Amino acid sequence: MAQIRCLVTGGAGFIGSHIIENLLKLGHEVVCIDNFDVYYDPQLKRKNIDSFMGNELFELVEGDFRNRGLLKKALNGVEYVFHEAAQAGVRISVEAPMKPHEINATGTLNLLEAVLDSDVKKVINASSSSVYGKVEYLPFDENHPNQPVSPYGVSKLLAEHYCRVFEELYGLKTVSLRYFTVYGPRMRPDLAISIFTKAALKNKPITIFGNGEKTRDFTHVDDIVRANLICMEKGSGVYNIGAGNSISINELARKIIEINKSKSTIFYADPVKGDAEHTLASSEKAWKELGWKPEVTVKEGLERYAKWMSNSRKANQMLFMPIQ
């Protein structure tokens, strides 16, 4: 593929920075827009993009993607948009539902409107398995009913619908990728694998909310990035992007303790409102239409993450932050 110019919203975050890293390796120009929100330490996000700052193919636009003037500037010459900016976090959405709505739903609408006045060929939207919510059957396929159980899930479903409507009404090519519990190097410090691994490396207790029997389909960030890059040339509508191998939170904690040769013990706390009971992806549609399938097993991914946490100076900053 010839050199192209891409915009990554939320590009200093976990998944966005990995997408940028891979686009730059392919020789593409990348504009990153990020407001370095204080939801978690902005310095961690700045470190995510440190290695890009001297690259002539990389440009940082610092600010909120909801700012139409700033967005117009960032979209100049852009052909593909990877929309990763979001107010993440199911639990925080239960406590303060307006912020995820304003960023994830209204913000996505603002982005799509701005894109109509540009030369963008396609918007690749980061969605979430949280759009499913209540389980009627497993694994989830894309036809499973959408009954989100958190404001976060609702906001991501609204963003999907805006993408669909803009394709149907205005001819803007869009695709929404429903990520299933993404993990890997540079992941947010408030996520379970990050918290559990940090505790295990310090031989500290691991706290599980609820009885630990909720299950998740953990998907490595490398597999997520591959799906995004494929969608530059293929795909329309929505796709599940998940490993298709669900494990319980209890099993996850035990695996992390084993991998890190830790002396950590497991404790239990009250369950948290808004958490889905189970997630498990059917990615058959992604395989048939995109040629994508997961490649990184949970065991391999957890081993990679433990090694990164142990060796990376960036990770060590996270390691010495208080365990949540």
pLDDT tens for 218-248 read 999 999 999 999 999 999 999 999 999 999 9
pLDDT at 201 > cutoff 60? yes
CA–CA separation, 124 and 237 (whole Å): 10
pLDDT at 324: 47
At residue 200, the pLDDT reads: 96
Is 39 assigned a catalytic role? no
**Between residues 319 and 305, which one has the greater pLDDT?**
305
CATH topology for the 5-319 domain: Rossmann fold (3.40.50)
Round to whole Å and give the CA distance between 82 and 100.
18
Q: Is the pLDDT of residue 36 over 80?
A: yes
Neighbours of 74 (CB within 10 A): 24
> Catalytic one among 80, 132, 152, 162?
152
Is the per-residue pLDDT at 72 higher than 50?
A: yes
Lowest mean pLDDT, pick from 36-40, 52-56, 60-64, 217-221: 36-40
Domain residue limits, the chain: 5-319
pLDDT, average across residues 129-148: 97
More confident residue, 315 or 278: 278
